[in-house]
Structure 1
Amino acid sequence: MRDDNPASIVVFDVNETLLDITTLEPLFARVFGDGAVMREWFAQLILYSQTMTLSGLYTPFGALGVGTLQMIGTTRGVTIADGDVDELKERMAAMPAHADAVPALSRLRDAGFRLVTLTNSASGASPTPLERAGLGEFFERSFSVEAVRKFKPAPETYRLVAENMDVETSDLCLVACHLWDTIGAQAAGCRGALITRPHNAILPAAEVPTPDLAASDLTILAEQIVQRWQVSR
């Protein structure tokens, strides 16, 4: 069954949703003796990015990522060397695409959807991480929160996409593997589609928006989007 007002533009989160952040784990295994520390680092990075926005402050995501690595080094009594910082930057710039990304993006593009990205990461020179991962060709535009100097899930970040694409937020469907991202998108008037990659799930609590769609695989989620909101060609 399709909604009366279909979501014609699919907006993809990038880090972890499309690009595989587990390729950062060897750095954390070497530095801290445990690759699982990468999850602590990423969670703290998201926490402090959102803290900066709530406080009316802004520091680029990459700089926060480096600072978070150094902060965890301090709390764990581990010295973070310049080479460790360089390796983090190099690995973040070279994260590969998840195996389900290309089939899902191909399905949505072939069904007539317009595809864009919205990331907390700052924009950069070509080749971008998406281009290095072989995904750049699928997207009409790539948006960074740096334009509004606020991190997701601030409503201004989703409105940025709607305004630049000259549509209403209700025309957008945000695809992400982080529930905090789909919650923010839905609160801003967008649709939300959750890909439940490992370490991400729905939060069953009162007043927490449930994603419009959810699946454990991006190709399945893409098919759900097509079946619900396929646009006329």
Structure 2
Amino acid sequence: MTLAPVRACVFDAYGTLFDLGSLTRSVRGELGERAETLMRLWRKRQLELSWLPLRPGVRADFWRVTDEALEFAMDKMGLDDRGLRLRLMEGWLSPELYPEAAEALARLRRLGFPLAILSNGSLPMLKSALELPGIRDNIDAVLSAQSVGRFKPDPLVYQLATTHFGMAPESVCFVSGNAWDVSGAAAYGYQVVWINRDNVPAEKLPLGTRATVANLAELPAILGG
């Protein structure tokens, strides 16, 4: 399936370009099977906190939310290890890229698409991750929800990309591995591609995708390359 013509491609970061499974693998040696349980609890709580209405005067800070979510998950599992907590938080600063990500981005650049990351991640988190080889030379802009003090799926966050590129939403392909993000981006008006790496059933959300792919390697063909 191909999309209507687009002029730019915008990517979510975590779970789309960056493999959060690398955090699990980094502590599996010491936690064994509990590593997967911890990661599931942590990620679930992180997203739940980001979806809550912000208190008056409080601006979005994904690093703080991530740390609070990890504290919750570790407490729930009876883990009291400051060193473990620090290592897991530092993992967000240097996550692994999905294996096909660098080549897919390079192909899109060769096709002439400007590329951006649009993420809930704070700017320090994203800038650190962008030092990874294979990504720093292929991304034109890093757009953080922190700059508008809100988290996705708030429309103000999605608007960052259209403002940056000076384009209408329908001129942008938005790519995410997170179904809730897919719905929010579609509601804003983007042409959305869902990366369904685990081949899970669609979540029957009100608004969805123009296309679904198994990984980023399939994206250039959908965009005409």
Aligned to 1:173: 173
Corresponding residue SS for 1:16: coil
Give the partner amino acid of 2:18: L
Could you list the per-position Cα deviations for residues 117-171 of structure 1 after superposition, in whole angstroms to 9, with x for gaps in the alignment? 1111111289620222430111111100001111111111111111122111222
Aligned to 1:212: 210
Quick check: 1:60–1:122 contact (8 Å CA) kept in 2? yes
Q: Distance in 2 between matches of 1:112 and 1:123?
A: 26
Moved over 6 A (4+): none
Aligned to 2:22: 23
Tell me the TM-score normalized by structure 1: 0.85
Aligned to 2:49: 48
Farther-moved stretch of structure 1 (89-98 vs 125-134): 125-134
Quick check: 1:13–1:118 contact (8 Å CA) kept in 2? yes
Aligned to 1:12: 11
Deviation at 1:77, TM superposition (A): 2.6
Q: Distance in 2 between matches of 1:119 and 1:2?
A: 25
Give the partner amino acid of 1:13: D
Quick check: 1:11–1:115 contact (8 Å CA) kept in 2? yes
Tell me the percent identity. Answer: 24
Aligned to 2:75: 74
Could you list the per-position Cα deviations for residues 18-56 of structure 1 after superposition, in whole angstroms to 9, with x for gaps in the alignment? 111111114554358512121221122111111145x66
Q: Distance in 2 between matches of 1:118 and 1:200?
A: 24
Quick check: 2:174–2:185 contact (8 Å CA) kept in 1? yes
Corresponding residue SS for 1:36: helix
Deviation at 1:225, TM superposition (A): 2.1
Q: Distance in 2 between matches of 1:73 and 1:183?
A: 30
Quick check: 1:152–1:181 contact (8 Å CA) kept in 2? yes
Quick check: 2:2–2:222 contact (8 Å CA) kept in 1? no
Aligned to 2:221: 223
Aligned to 2:149: 149
Quick check: 1:174–1:190 contact (8 Å CA) kept in 2? yes
Deviation at 1:91, TM superposition (A): 1.4
Corresponding residue SS for 1:204: coil
Aligned to 2:159: 159
Q: Distance in 1 between matches of 2:126 and 2:68?
A: 25
Consecutive unaligned residues in structure 2, runs of 5 or more: none
Quick check: 1:155–1:184 contact (8 Å CA) kept in 2? yes
Tell me the TM-score normalized by structure 2: 0.88
Q: Distance in 2 between matches of 1:78 and 1:124?
A: 27
